[in-house]
Amino acid sequence: MTDVILVINCGSSSIKAAAYAVEERPAPVWKGNITGIGSAPVYRALSGTAAGERMALATDMTTHRSLIHWMLERLGQEMPSLRVVAAGHRVVHGGRHFDAPALIDDTVLETIQGLSDLAPGHQPHNLSGIHAIAEAWPEIPQVACFDTAFHRTQPRVAQLFALPRHFADEGVLRYGFHGLSYEYIASVLPRHAGSQANGRFIVAHLGNGASLCAMQEGRSVATTMGFTALDGLMMGKRCGDLDPGVIMHLLRDRGMSVDEVYHLIRRESGLLGVSGISNDMRDLLESDDPRAQEAIELFVHRIVSQLGALVAQLGGLDGLVFTAGIGERSAPIRERIAARLAWLGVRLDPAANAEGASCISTTDSALPVFVIPTDEEGVIAAHTRTLACATPRAQRREREALACS
Ligand code: ADP
């Protein structure tokens, strides 16, 4: 039997899961995910002999909780030699309460529950994951890893909205998200950038959700997402920065309901809304429809505009990192962004960029540009190992002693 940490990352319509050996090893021993929750759920095995297998699931399995239970059975069938001894969860919102991962107890659970209103599309699903594991293995420790925690180092002024100050006291602040991804990048940056990693870096996490983080000495000093993950850059389906007057216009003058507006800015905007074609950057890059081209132009425009603001906050820039789906895999988007950053002295090496090399800038570029694949699940596994399996060797020795007695 191999003791493993199970990592669960529940999104609004997906569940990503991975198992990592307790004994420190960076790569997962099992991986699987379920997508299409709420419409047509599909399971994909991503490791072992079943890797690549796709399985359509019964459409009446609509809750994250029931699907996690199904997935746990599946894990048992695919990998009967694994024994789950701890679980780690991605939890989107930690509010002001959490600036680090936390071992889950009743108080932590209550606090996470209390923050659900701040991330209604994600937090209830994160909680479902925690409850499902507690039902399956009530005795194992669970750890919550927060997407907001990495940004708690932002100076107060970067966290404030220009609203009457009692709102800030009540928690209406710019929190920022994608913190687990940024934490991973900060942890491996020295491998890529050497001692320069301590300088002023901007990391562009460009996936379905997208944001930028300005870091100094590996800590977040500013980010483009705010109170919710709707703020900042244009995303696959989310609008990003929007004049609050537009929301008022839609509600008051167009008679849209609150739910309709919320759906519009979360599910019908961004690349999908502007192109009218797709939220997937690959579809837009392949299309010669002018609407697709305009959506890409706006996506890049927003990135370079907000990146400029972050450079000003950092007082200069020593390096740039691209990560997540688009950042890691789309050479044309990286090229278009870099071309608009020529004023900073950024120069890309076309061949290195085309192959997605680790460093894609030329030797005479004023600053290095890196492509670093992110690993949010690996970060969760590492925190869970530290908080819930602090002394794996001692535990193993204890088990061996018990087995011998
Ligand atoms: P999530 O935010 O859901 O974790 P990812 O980081 O996996 O998303 O990014 C998914 C997005 O990345 C896709 O929707 C697609 O737009 C984009 N993407 C993936 N591969 C490519 C590629 N080769 N070229 C351009 N875009 C890509």
Q: Could you read off the pLDDT of 96-109 as tens digits, one per residue?
A: 999 999 999 999 99
Q: Is the CB of 324 under 6 A from ligand 1?
A: yes
Q: Is the CB of 286 under 6 A from ligand 1?
A: no
Q: Is the CB of 280 under 6 A from ligand 1?
A: yes
Residue nearest ligand 1's atom 27 by CA = 326
Read off the pLDDT of each residue in 86-115 and give the average, rounded to a whole number: 96
Residue nearest ligand 1's atom 23 by CA = 329
pLDDT at 143 exceeding the cut of 50: yes
Of 330, 353, 375, best ligand 1 pocket probe by most atoms within 8 Å of the beta carbon: 330
> Residue 145 belongs to what H/E stretch?
strand 142-146
pLDDT of the residue at 391? 60
Q: Is 282 annotated as a binding residue?
A: yes
**Domain 179-371 CATH (choose: 3.30.420.40, 3.40.50.460, 3.40.50.300, 3.40.50.1000):** 3.30.420.40
Q: Is 281 annotated as a binding residue?
A: yes
Read off the pLDDT of each residue in 177-197 and give the average, rounded to a whole number: 96
> Residue 13 belongs to what H/E stretch?
none
Q: For 345-392, write each residue's pLDDT tens digit.
A: 999 999 999 999 999 999 999 999 999 999 999 999 999 999 999 765
Question: Residue 384 Cα, ligand 1 centroid: separation in angstroms?
Answer: 27
Token pair in block for residue 94: 């930690």
pLDDT at 395 exceeding the cut of 70: no
Q: For 37-62, write each residue's pLDDT tens digit.
A: 878 889 998 887 778 888 888 877 77
Nearest ligand 1 atom to alpha carbon 11? 3
pLDDT of the residue at 36? 86
Q: Is the CB of 236 under 6 A from ligand 1?
A: yes
Q: DSSP code of 251? A: I
The pLDDT-based confidence of 401 (bands split at 50, 70, 90) is very low
Q: Is 376 annotated as a binding residue?
A: yes
How far is 62 from 59, CA to CA, in rounded Å?
A: 7
What is the pLDDT of the chain when averaged over all its residues?
A: 93
Q: Is the CB of 206 under 6 A from ligand 1?
A: no
Nearest ligand 1 atom to alpha carbon 208? 2
The pLDDT-based confidence of 118 (bands split at 50, 70, 90) is confident
Read off the pLDDT of each residue in 310-330 and give the average, rounded to a whole number: 97
Which residues are bridge partners to 46 per DSSP?
A: none
Read off the pLDDT of each residue in 278-300 and give the average, rounded to a whole number: 97
The pLDDT-based confidence of 121 (bands split at 50, 70, 90) is confident
Question: What is the edge-to-edge ordering of all strands in the sheet holding 2-10?
Answer: 54-56, 42-45, 30-35, 15-21, 2-10, 82-91, 142-146, 102-103
Q: Which residues are known catalytic residues?
A: 147
Q: Is 207 annotated as a binding residue?
A: yes
pLDDT at 16 exceeding the cut of 60: yes
CATH architecture of 2-146: 2-Layer Sandwich (3.30)
Question: Residue 326 Cα, ligand 1 centroid: separation in angstroms?
Answer: 5
Q: For 220-273, write each residue's pLDDT tens digit.
A: 999 999 999 999 999 999 999 999 999 999 999 999 999 999 999 999 999 999
Nearest ligand 1 atom to alpha carbon 280? 16
Token pair in block for residue 304: 């370079």
| Global pTM value | 0.92
Read off the pLDDT of each residue in 178-185 and give the average, rounded to a whole number: 97
Question: Residue 46 Cα, ligand 1 centroid: separation in angstroms?
Answer: 17
Read off the pLDDT of each residue in 110-119 and give the average, rounded to a whole number: 92
Q: Could you check whether 2-146 and 179-371 share the same CATH topology?
A: yes
- What ranges do the domains of the chain cover? 2-146, 179-371
Q: Is 268 annotated as a binding residue?
A: no
pLDDT of the residue at 396? 54
